[in-house]
Structure 1
Amino acid sequence: MNLGPGMGLEGTLLQLMGIVVTEAAPERVVATMPVKGNTQPYGLLHGGASCVLAESLGSIGSALHAATYGKVAVGVDINATHHRAVRDGVVTGVATPIYLGRTTTSYEVVVTDERDKRVCTARITCQLIPAPPGT
């Protein structure tokens, strides 16, 4: 999925982690990520992997929103609470905006397992800055 200029996923961390974006708009971003390959030594989904998923979704939504102002989005804060362990399957992340402004955005990202049980809740804030020349 290409999300616009400079937003292709080839060669990115999303591709490396197997993240597949299935829906992308400023109002809602959805993606899946396999647990396999994204675990810590005990075989559980790595908390950092959940954070990568959350930051990616919030950043994509923020970037799509920023484009309406001729700006780009850069992450400035993320926090996450990990609720339950996951050992296999696929997790799904859904990012919805908390605030969409002209200079900042904030998204809540809920990560769930295949039983629709909440695995992680994260919040990401992005700053919207002028687009670099040539983007």
Structure 2
Amino acid sequence: MVDRIGIEFTEIGEDFVKATMPVDERTVQPLRLLHGGASVTLAETLGSVAATMTVDPNKQYCVGLEINANHIKSAKSGIVEGIAHPLHIGKKTQVWEIKITNEEKQLICVSRITMAVIDKK
């Protein structure tokens, strides 16, 4: 799905991961506004990748338990950027906040994802 809707990772820091996504025919709803599901896809992608980067991939993996999103402002064109920051990094769960902004740095969506950290057998 990441490739299909044009999500591109742009920066990885010590406590964040950033990615962009176009607002185009792949990511808009019938009114030509950014689809809320596309925003949630960007948020879940960022949270999942960020969580996975905090564990030893030979010993553990992360899967989503719950995600929510508040859609604050619409976007009609251009690029949106998401940035994920950790709120909690535990042994068995993680919570990440993802803020999505437009090219003017206006908040489009704020999301929170809870990840389960699972031991490989």
Q: What interval of TM-score do these two structures reach, taking the shorter chain for normalisation? A: over 0.9
Scaled by the length of structure 1, what TM-score is found? 0.84
Q: How far is 1:24 from its partner?
A: 3.0
Contact 2:34/2:74, CA 8 A, preserved across alignment: yes
2:74 matches 1:74: no
- Write out per-residue CA displacement over residues 93-113 of structure 1, whole angstroms, 9 at most, x where no aligned residue: 000000011111100000000
Contact 2:58/2:120, CA 8 A, preserved across alignment: no
Write out aligned runs for 1:3-14 (5 A): 13-14=1-2
- Aligned equivalents of 1:131, 1:68: Cα separation in 2: 9
Identity %: 38
Q: How far is 1:117 from its partner?
A: 0.2
Aligned AA for 2:53?
L
SS in 2 for 1:114: coil
2:3 matches 1:15: yes
2:83 matches 1:94: yes
Structure 1 vs Structure 2 CA RMSD: 1.5
Deviates more, 1:117-126 or 1:24-33: 24-33
* Runs of 5+ consecutive residues of structure 1 not aligned to the other structure: 1-12
Aligned AA for 1:30?
K
- Aligned equivalents of 2:47, 2:94: Cα separation in 1: 9
- Write out per-residue CA displacement over residues 75-98 of structure 1, whole angstroms, 9 at most, x where no aligned residue: 000000000110000000000000
TM superposition outliers: structure 1 runs of 4+ over 4 Å: none
Contact 1:98/1:108, CA 8 A, preserved across alignment: yes
Contact 1:25/1:61, CA 8 A, preserved across alignment: no
- Write out per-residue CA displacement over residues 6-58 of structure 1, whole angstroms, 9 at most, x where no aligned residue: xxxxxxx1111100011235620100000002000000000000000000000
Q: How far is 1:67 from its partner?
A: 2.1
- Aligned equivalents of 1:25, 1:131: Cα separation in 2: 26
- The total of aligned residue pairs comes to 120
Q: Specify which of 18, 23, 30 is matched with residue 35 of structure 1.
A: 23
* Runs of 5+ consecutive residues of structure 2 not aligned to the other structure: none
2:34 — aligned with what?
45
Scaled by the length of structure 2, what TM-score is found? 0.94
- Aligned equivalents of 1:25, 1:74: Cα separation in 2: 21
